[in-house]
């Protein structure tokens, strides 16, 4: 043997285990929640075309979530078949990452079909307690999961950290190592 390498596969993904994912999913299909989480981690790690990106995925209880949200712009998922906009379809993952550049949340049905993108969440924030330093995306995630039975995955634009929310609280936090993302924004 001329070389040996030891790799800690848990590095940067503390808590990313099947038991915690199952607890997060609850009654929802585990594969849908795992796929949404994988997409969120990818966006947190990679950003898009060298730029950091933050986004919000709201999964489950979709009718109530739609009731507590409104469209901010033209819906990029309108008019597509359910197969063409199901997050379990790997062919759409790059498109989802592209849409993540827009402001607003993705609303995802329990079966993985993305109902809408670019949504403004308007749920009650009274009584929410979040750590200092988290912004509007995280408040939206906490408020919509407190108001509905949905879960939310918030990707921090500044750090790439993915926080999973359930019942208005952070239940899982992943700190993926970011690839080198350029922060020199030309004005």
Structure tokens at 134: 């988290």
With CA atoms as reference, report the closest residue to 151 among 72, 3, 40: 40
Tens of pLDDT, residues 35-67: 999 999 999 998 888 789 999 999 999 999 999
Structure tokens at 24: 């997060």
Tens of pLDDT, residues 71-109: 998 999 999 999 999 999 999 999 999 999 999 999 999
- Tell me what pLDDT residue 51 has: 86
Structure tokens at 129: 């307690």
CA distance 11 to 14: 7
Tens of pLDDT, residues 18-38: 788 999 999 999 999 999 999
CA atoms within 13 A on the CB side of 182: 6
Q: Strand pairing of 105-108 and 151-155?
A: unpaired
């Amino acid at each position: 043997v001329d070389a040996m390498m030891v790799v800690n596969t848990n590095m940067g993904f503390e808590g990313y285990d099947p038991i915690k994912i199952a607890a997060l999913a609850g009654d929802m299909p585990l594969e849908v929640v795992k796929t949404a989480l994988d997409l969120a981690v990818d966006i947190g790690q990679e950003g898009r075309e060298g730029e950091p990106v933050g986004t919000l995925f709201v999964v489950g209880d979709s009718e109530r979530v739609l009731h507590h949200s409104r469209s901010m712009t033209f819906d990029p998922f309108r008019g597509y078949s359910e197969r063409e906009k199901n997050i379990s379809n790997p062919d759409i993952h790059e498109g989802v990452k592209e849409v993540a550049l827009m402001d607003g949340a993705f609303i995802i049905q329990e079966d993985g079909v993305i109902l809408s993108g670019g949504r403004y969440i308007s749920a009650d924030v009274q009584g929410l307690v979040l750590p200092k330093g988290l912004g509007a995306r995280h408040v939206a995630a906490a408020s919509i999961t407190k108001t509905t039975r949905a879960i939310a995955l918030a990707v921090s634009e500044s750090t790439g950290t993915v926080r999973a929310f359930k019942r208005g609280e952070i239940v899982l936090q992943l700190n993926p190592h970011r690839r080198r993302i350029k922060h020199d924004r030309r004005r």
